[in-house]
Amino acid sequence: MSAVTMSEQGEAPRLGMWVFLASEFLFFGGLLLAYVYARSHWPEGFAQAGSHTHVVLGTLNTALLLTSSAVIAVAVACAEDYRRWSRRLLWVTFVLGLAFLAVKGLEYWKEWGEHLVPGPDFALHAPGAELFFLLYFLLTGVHTVHMLAGLVVVGTLAGRGAREATHVEVGALYWHFVDIVWIFLYPLLYLVGRAS
């Protein structure tokens, strides 16, 4: 009876996280559908605007996130029997997440200087180009907020010494979700405009 109760206690956080992630997928799915709809109406403007994104910085951020996903997966594998290593790997994930945000901040700063922020001084004139950057800042901004939440989760788990393997696993689920969202955003925002 006690074992069943402990098992149920372990499943509850996982189930809660999966329900939460399902609602988040619906939210990002709506934003991505808005992107697809707008791109189908203004393909030239979206292609021109997409060619002005900073593909090197976007690629660097993709590499940082993929690496962080691999590191946190190893942290989960170590959480049961090698807690000290799990904690260290969570800190590595945290640092990689901070590096992602630093690169994204640099990218935003460059785009501000290039007048790519929608508004009166917007630099591009093709129809749809301003809408592209509106969606770009909306999608990457919401993703950044999720990254910040992920850093709080990972930092808290590392700070507490990765004591509960289930908590490390649930935190890693959230981190992988944030990475998967970026995997969808990267080609849509950085590559499609260059391929067309």
User: Could you say which of 1.20.120.80, 2.40.50.140, 3.90.550.10, 2.40.50.60 is the CATH number of the domain covering 14-191?
Assistant: 1.20.120.80
Residue 143, token pair as written in the block: 């993703």
Would you say 86 and 168 are in contact if contact means Cβ atoms under 8 Å apart? yes
pTM for the model: 0.87
What tens digit of pLDDT does each residue of 19-73 get?
877 878 788 888 889 999 999 999 999 999 999 999 999 999 999 999 999 999 9
Q: What are phi and psi of 155, to 5 degrees?
A: -65, -40
Burial of 194 (0-12, 13-18, 19+ CB in 10 A): exposed
What are the sequence ranges of the domains in the chain?
A: 14-191
Q: What is the mean pLDDT of residues 181-189?
A: 93
What tens digit of pLDDT does each residue of 121-176 get?
999 888 999 999 999 999 999 999 999 999 999 999 998 876 788 889 999 999 99
